Amino acid sequence: MATTQTFGGGVHPREFGNGKDSTKSAMIVNAAAPARVTIAMSQHAGAPAVCCVKPGQTVNMGQVIGTAQGVISAPVHASVSGKVVAVTACTVASGRNCTAVVIENDFEDRWDESVKPCGNVDALTPSEIVQKAIDCGIVGMGGAAFPTAVKLDTTKETLTIDTLVVNGSECEPYLTSDDRIMIEQAEQIIDGVKLAMKASGVKCAKIGVEDNKPEAIAALKAAAKDGIEVVALPAKYPQGFEKMLIYALTGRIVPNGALPKAAGCIVLNVGTCAALSAAVREGRPLIDRVVTVAGRVAKPMNVRCRIGTNLMDIVDMAGGLTEGVRKLISGGAMMGMAMPTLNVPVTKNFGGFVALGEEGVHNEESACIRCGRCVRACPMKLMPAKIDTLVRHGNYDGAIAAGALNCMECGSCTYACPAKRELTQSCRVAKAVARSKKS
C-alpha cells in the first residue's frame, strides 16, 4: 500500500526504448578489474583529497592514496593493487578538472593491512562507527557524495534529530542500480541502517521505496528489524529528492535554504547504507560501486566496477553503443549531465550512464503559451516561466526574488513544457549569477 502522503507537483517521465524495463531485472554483474584505474582526488562534496602517493610507489587495494582535507572531505583509496604510474590531471564526468592517481593493476588484489574486519561490532560506540565511516571514505552514493560521517555525527547538533530517512526511491528514468542493490543486498542495507541509527542516536528509520519496485520492497521488509519501517510511495518524479522524500515519509517540511536536520531528519541513500555496513564490519573502504548502463547500448546492464574504471570499458562490457546515439549522459535522463566523451573515470557518485538518440534531443523551442504546466509540475511551487522570462531579459535580481535559488534543478518544468523551453537552465543561470555576486 502506498502512503496517503505525497508531494505536490512532479511528473511521470516516459520510458524510451531500452529504458528502465530492460535493466530492472538485470542482476548486478561484477566487472573485471581494469589494467589501469584513474582515481580522482575530487569525487565527493567539499574539499578535494590531498594526494599522498608518488609515481613508482607500490600500493595495496584499500590503501589511502588521498587524505581528507578538512571536515567536509573524504579520503580516497586504491581500488586495485599495483604501481602508481602517474599523478596527473583528469576530467571527471561532471566536467570538473582535478588531480588523479593512475595505478597500473598487478591483478593480485592484495588488500592493505589496514583493511581488517571488526571483531565485535555490537561493542562499537557511536563515535567509533562515525570514525569508521571517515576512515573508509564513505560518501553519499545517490549523487551528491556528501561525506556520510558528517551527517551521522550529531554530537554538536543543537537541533533534535529523531528520524533517519533512507532513500530507495530511484525515480530517475533508466537507472535501476539502487533497485538491484535493494533486491540483492537487502540484509546489508538494513544492517547499515541499524549502524547509522546507532551512530546518530535516532530511534526511528523510514525507508522510502516507490511502489513500482515490489521486489525491492518485499526484500527490505523481510530483512527489516525493530525501529525500521519500509514505506511504499507512489511512483512519481522527483520522489527521490530529500525534501520531497522527507515530506512524503514524515509530513515535515524542510525550509527553503535549510538542510534536512532542520526537519529533524538525516537522509542516506540505500547504497550508502550498504557501503557503511561493509566499512564497519569488514573495514572495507569505498572502492567500488554499482553503475547502470542503459539506453542505446547493445546489452543494458547493472555492473559493479572499481572506482577509477574508465567508462569506455564499462560501455564495451555492455556491448558498445548502438546506432543513432545523439547524447551521452552521466546520471539519469532528467538530471544527468551531457558528456562529450566516454573517456572519464567512474567515481563514487557515478550512478549511471545513459546513451540517448532522438528521444534525448529537444525540438526547437517556441514561445511560452502561458499554459501553466511548469507551475503545476514544479515540486517547489515556483513559477518557472516567470523566472525564465526574467533571466532572458537579464533581470537576474528579479529571477532571484522570484525564487530561482529554491529551484532543485529536477527538470520537471522543462519536461512538462509543451514549448520545449529550457526553464531549468534559466534557473541554473540565475543561481550561477547569485554565486558570482557572493564571491
User: Same structural domain for residues 100 and 62?
Assistant: yes
φ, ψ for residue 211 (rounded to 5)? -75, 5
User: Same structural domain for residues 192 and 91?
Assistant: no
User: Same structural domain for residues 134 and 246?
Assistant: yes
Compute the distance between CA of residue 413 and CA of residue 410 in angstroms, rounded to an integer.
8
User: Same structural domain for residues 37 and 101?
Assistant: yes
- Domain residues for the domain of 101 are 32-115+285-359
The string of pLDDT tens digits covering residues 120-144 is 999 999 999 999 999 999 999 987 8
Kindly tell me if the per-residue pLDDT of 2 is higher than 70.
no
For residue 346, the surrounding DSSP H or E stretch is none
Give me the mean pLDDT over the 6-16 stretch.
81
The string of pLDDT tens digits covering residues 286-305 is 999 999 999 999 999 999 99
For residue 432, the surrounding DSSP H or E stretch is helix 423-438
The C-alpha cell at 55 is 609515481
pLDDT at 177: 95
User: Same structural domain for residues 42 and 68?
Assistant: yes
User: Same structural domain for residues 338 and 252?
Assistant: no
pLDDT at 6: 81
User: Same structural domain for residues 247 and 312?
Assistant: no
Mean pLDDT score across all residues of the chain: 93
Give me the mean pLDDT over the 213-221 stretch.
97
User: Same structural domain for residues 125 and 243?
Assistant: yes
pLDDT at 363: 75
Torsion of CA 402, 360, 346, 270, to 10 degrees: 60
Cβ(7)–Cβ(56) below 8 Å:
no
φ, ψ for residue 269 (rounded to 5)? -80, 155
The strands making up 204-210's β-sheet, listed across from edge to edge, are: 228-233, 204-210, 163-167, 265-269
Q: Does some domain include residue 368? A: no
User: Same structural domain for residues 276 and 211?
Assistant: yes
Cβ(280)–Cβ(199) below 8 Å:
no
The string of pLDDT tens digits covering residues 373-415 is 999 999 999 999 999 999 999 999 999 999 999 999 999 999 9
Question: How many domains is the chain partitioned into structurally?
Answer: 3
User: Same structural domain for residues 270 and 294?
Assistant: no
pLDDT at 439: 67
Kindly tell me if the per-residue pLDDT of 283 is higher than 80.
yes
For residue 182, the surrounding DSSP H or E stretch is helix 177-184
Give me the mean pLDDT over the 318-343 stretch.
93
User: Same structural domain for residues 95 and 45?
Assistant: yes
